[in-house]
Chains A and B, each alone.
Chain A
Amino acid sequence: MNAAALPASADTRNTRDTATDRGFRGLVTAAGMLVLVALGAAAFSMLWGGRAAFGKFGLGFLWSGTWDPVGQQFGALVSIYGTVVSALIAMIIAVPVSFGIAMFLTEIAPKWMRGPVGTAIELLAGIPSIIYGMWGLFVLVPVLAEHVYPWVDAHMGQWPLIGTLFAGPPLGLGMLTAGLVLAIMVIPFIASVMREVFLTVPGRLKESSYALGSTRWEVVWDVVLPYTRSAVLGGIFLGLGRALGETMAVTFVLGNAHELTASLLMPGNSIAATIANEFSEADSEMYRSSLIALGFVLFLVTFVVLAIARLMLRQLDKREGN
């Protein structure tokens, strides 16, 4: 009698469980797909929002240097130039420094020091970018304007070929300052990626090299770096992606000027800074559409850079899996 009841109840429980299982699978799959949809929708919505600007100016939007809200003429060149130049300055400073920090934290520092110093560097990554911006504007800019840029203008401004880059009035605001603040911001990101990938190098490789009489520097440069090359490049691109899209810190110290100048000491603009500064005061449809179109350009550029970064980081993962 029990034998007759048991299969029936187990059966209904089974069907119920199967149905719930199917429902749960559907739910998590939908959530996963939402991630894909989010990125696609972000791209599409900006293309849609910028359609008026793209329609009116065509591809010329990308290389026109005019930005004239009154005359309703908009071009992205000055902003793109500022974004690229400030990010490049940041990378020139940040890459060697990050490499040094990663080398210090994995090979040089005594064991007890690695944890706290690593944490401190990573805390630098957590500070909100608006704090960097405020500190840059109120603290760094006056120091640079009074003590550093006059010297840069007087000495480096005289150098042949690249002198024009460093000649200019010591305002404190401008590309070089923005590049420096960006460098401070991306150093922790690049350094922590480099540190992590350096730690994946098998100990026996390093020990073999040390056993042959290599110095620490030779181990890092000839063993660790070749082994992790693609992931290190990935980390650098990750930092570049961040530098290109960083908004608040740059907005404070760039100076918001829509002019192309050769000097790095002059105020400029970047895509993100232009959008942040002008979006709330954009009064016409075309103005707002042009700003969203700028956002679309930024999205495309960072997407490519970040995709390269992730592909390169993945190569090391694959090797580790072997």
Chain B
Amino acid sequence: MGTSPYGSRRAKNLVAQALAVLATIFGLFWLVWILWTTFSKGLGSLNLALFTQMTPPPGETGGMLNAFFGSVVMSLLGIAFGAPIGVLAGTYLAEYSQKSWIGETVRFVNDILLSAPSIVLGLFVYTLVVAQMGHFSALAGAIALAFIVLPVVVRTTDEMLRLVPSQMREAALSLGVPQWKVIVQVLYRASLPGIVTGILLALARISGETAPLLFTALNNQYWTTDILAPMANVPVVIFQYAMSPYDSWHTLAWAGAFILTLFVLVVSLAARAIVSRNKIVHD
């Protein structure tokens, strides 16, 4: 049987398919393991104090209220700085650059920025802002996050605008509507779900970013609302607590990791839901 040419081809095919199935199981295995660890360790360390108390010194009980607050503030500021510029730059690529070399270069550079290591962006903002101001600050952290938001939003806005049928532009332009009004009142409205998805994806990405905040916002053991001062944030607190030798800090780090993972998963699933619902409408 093995001697017939078809037999060996079939055997090879079976082996390849079995390996492909194994590879998929291998990939899913880690996902399940990581999520299970985070959820089981995190759920065990959840309590009300987590949301009502400040980060404690080693050995004492406490929560992460200041860190949650700092993360929310910096993520929202990062979106507020990065998203509008991203939408405008995406509009430039889709509506104005018209396949010119400069437009292609911007698109290319944006793609590189999209996957550039976030630690590099952190160092960039350190020399740009922190070194000039002379101290770490939440503002610098937000700027670093904005540089991560920017390419994500540029990319999705560009793609979503190009998906809008050109008949829509032509219909509006033929009525004598100026181009900026066509873009703001027709094209943005048509591609709004896509642009919102891009912003949600950016939010999911920055809420877990640690490296850029290490050099910009740093950390703060106390409650502060001053964005010109160092501010606590969830990822850096998790990093500091997990690397410490104290058990009480490890427990808090797991609780923070649980909340962070849950948040990121919910936001990315929401972004997906918007995309798929919108697709059905278009079909």
Contact = CB atoms under 8 A, between A and B. Distances in A.
Interface of A: 17-18, 20-21, 23-25, 27-36, 38-39, 41-42, 45-46, 48-49, 96-101, 103-105, 108-109, 117, 119-121, 123-124, 126-135, 137-139, 184, 187-188, 191, 215-218, 220-221, 238, 241-242, 244-248, 252, 272, 275-276, 279-280, 292, 295, 298-299, 302-303, 306-307, 309-310
B70 interface: no
B171 interface: no
Nearest to B123: A295
Contact of A241 (B34, B115, B124): B115
12 contacts: A31-B86, A31-B92, A32-B88, A46-B120, A123-B265, A126-B268, A127-B208, A134-B253, A242-B115, A244-B117, A279-B214, A310-B111
Contact of A20 (B35, B89, B178): B178
Given A36-B106, A120-B31, A130-B239, A46 B12 contact: no
B264 A130 contact: no
Contact of B37 (A30, A139, A309): A139
A49 B12 contact: no
Given A25-B180, A133-B239, A248-B235, 19 more contacts: A25-B96, A27-B88, A32-B88, A34-B85, A35-B110, A35-B151, A42-B120, A45-B128, A100-B23, A101-B27, A104-B21, A119-B272, A126-B265, A128-B235, A135-B37, A184-B34, A215-B12, A303-B112, A306-B111
B117 A246 contact: yes
Q: Chain A contact residues: over half helix, strand or loop, or mixed?
A: helix
A137 B41 CA distance: 14
B19 A100 contact: yes
Interface in B115-133: 115-121, 123-124, 126-128, 131
Contacts of B92: 28-29, 31-32
B20 A126 contact: no
B93 A32 contact: yes
A21 B176 CA distance: 13
A15 to B, nearest CB: 11
Nearest to A130: B210
A28 B91 contact: yes
A27 B88 CA distance: 7
A31 to B, nearest CB: 4
Given A121-B28, A137-B242, A306 B20 contact: no
A67 to B, nearest CB: 18
B116 A245 contact: yes
A159 B13 CA distance: 32
B257 interface: yes
A241 B121 CA distance: 15
Contacts of B89: 28, 31-32, 34-35
A89 B142 CA distance: 34
B168 interface: no
B38 to A, nearest CB: 6
A32 B257 contact: no
Contacts of B180: 20-21, 23-25
A124 B127 contact: no
A141 to B, nearest CB: 12
Given A27-B88, A121-B31, A248-B211, A49 B131 contact: yes
Given A45-B124, A46-B124, A216-B17, A130 B150 contact: no
B64 interface: no
Nearest to B208: A128
